[in-house]
């Protein structure tokens, strides 16, 4: 589904991604771990061209999206993204947060968009919040709405950048449960997280990034059970 070849990203003099090669298959759940500042967010943001790569190639469903002049908008619709900060529209009700993009971008009829939004609210367990405003929701509920909103565009892949890092500890589980359910339904997912238990349980593959390099990857058993690199072992000894 996604192929990354020799991806580089520089911010001025700073060389942040130093030649990333990566393939993500349909239905795969890939979890990216690594120290703060290692380039995990930058990698995720390059996948949907929120950051413009400085070199290398990214293909999505067979099309090179890094070719000059490529229209990324259609592709972005197929990539849902969930951030640490939920970025809900504060002046819009939950239902309108979810239906906005399908109505505006996909030209879905309002009634259809709302019916679909209610299904998604059921999926994330928040049907009763249909008419609430974001300020009336807990952090965990906001993040579940953000996930529902991303799903409303019927993305082919979901990108998560530390979706539980801004949450109080007691709300982490409810968000991870929604993500687990998505994974079980076969959604292709790329997840940056520090939740190692979740990574181990839900990840098909773990990527360890360090200083802009994809240092190690493998199944959870391989990476958590028998890490090859000293840097991976050091990192895991701090977070496990
Ligand atoms: P991670 O998500 O693994 O913590 P990031 O991808 O956010 O790492 O950042 C990697 C490095 O790139 C950091 O040193 C960060 O300061 C730098 N960086 C990220 N975005 C920018 C930017 N827009 N301009 C300059 N430097 C940036
Ligand atoms: Mg980050």
Coil, strand, or helix at residue 239? helix
Residues having C-beta closer than 5 Å to ion ligand 2:
40-41
14 lines ligand 1 (CB under 6 A): yes
Q: Mean pLDDT across the stretch 144-153?
A: 98
Cα 17 to averaged position of ligand 1 atoms, centre (Å): 10
120-140 mean pLDDT: 97
Nearest CA to ligand 1 atom 19: 42
Query: What is the 161 CA–ligand 2 centroid distance (Å)?
Result: 7
Q: Is residue 203 helix, strand or coil?
A: coil
Q: Check pocket membership of 36 for ligand 1, CB cut-off 6 A.
A: yes
Give per-residue pLDDT as tens, 188-224: 999 999 999 999 999 999 999 999 999 999 999 999 9
Per-residue pLDDT band at 69 (split at 50, 70, 90): confident
> For residue range 13-38, what is the model confidence (pLDDT) as tens digits?
999 999 999 999 999 999 999 999 99
45 in ligand 1 pocket by Cβ < 6 Å? Answer: no
Atom of ligand 1 nearest to the CA of 162: 2
Return the pLDDT at 74: 86
Q: What is the pLDDT of residues 151-180, one digit of tens each?
A: 999 999 999 999 999 999 999 999 999 999
Quick: pLDDT tens for 48-61. Answer: 999 999 999 999 99
Residue appearing with tokens 């790329």: 190
Question: What mean pLDDT do residues 124-148 have?
Answer: 98
For residue 45, the tally of other CB atoms under 10 A from its CB is 19
Ligand 1 contacts CB of residue 205 (under 6 A): no
pLDDT of residue 104: 96
Which is the closest atom of ligand 1 to the Cα of 12? 25
Does the pLDDT at position 80 exceed 90? yes
- By percentage, how much of the chain surpasses pLDDT 70? 100
* Coil, helix or strand at residue 30: strand
């Amino acid at each position: 589904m996604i192929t990354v070849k020799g991806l580089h990203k520089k911010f001025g003099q700073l060389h942040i991604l130093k030649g990333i090669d990566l393939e993500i298959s349909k239905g795969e759940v890939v979890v990216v771990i690594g120290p703060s500042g290692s380039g995990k967010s930058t990698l995720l943001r390059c996948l949907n061209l929120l950051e413009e790569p400085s070199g290398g190639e990214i293909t999505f469903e067979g099309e090179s999206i890094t070719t000059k002049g490529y229209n990324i908008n259609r592709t972005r619709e197929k990539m849902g993204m969930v951030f640490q900060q939920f970025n809900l529209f504060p002046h819009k009700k939950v239902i309108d947060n979810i239906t906005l993009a399908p109505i505006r971008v996909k030209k879905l009829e309002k009634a259809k968009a709302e019916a679909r939004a209610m299904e998604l609210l059921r999926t994330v367990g928040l049907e009763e919040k249909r008419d609430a405003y974001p300020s009336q929701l807990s952090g965990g509920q906001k993040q579940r709405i953000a996930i529902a909103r991303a799903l409303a565009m019927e993305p082919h892949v979901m990108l998560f950048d530390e979706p539980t890092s801004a949450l109080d500890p007691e709300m982490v589980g409810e968000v991870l449960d929604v993500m687990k359910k998505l994974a079980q339904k076969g959604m292709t997912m790329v997840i940056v997280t520090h939740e190692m238990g979740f990574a181990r349980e839900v990840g098909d593959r773990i990527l360890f990034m360090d200083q802009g390099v994809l240092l190690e990857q493998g199944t959870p058993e391989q990476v958590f059970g028998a890490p090859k690199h000293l840097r991976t072992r050091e990192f895991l000894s701090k977070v496990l």
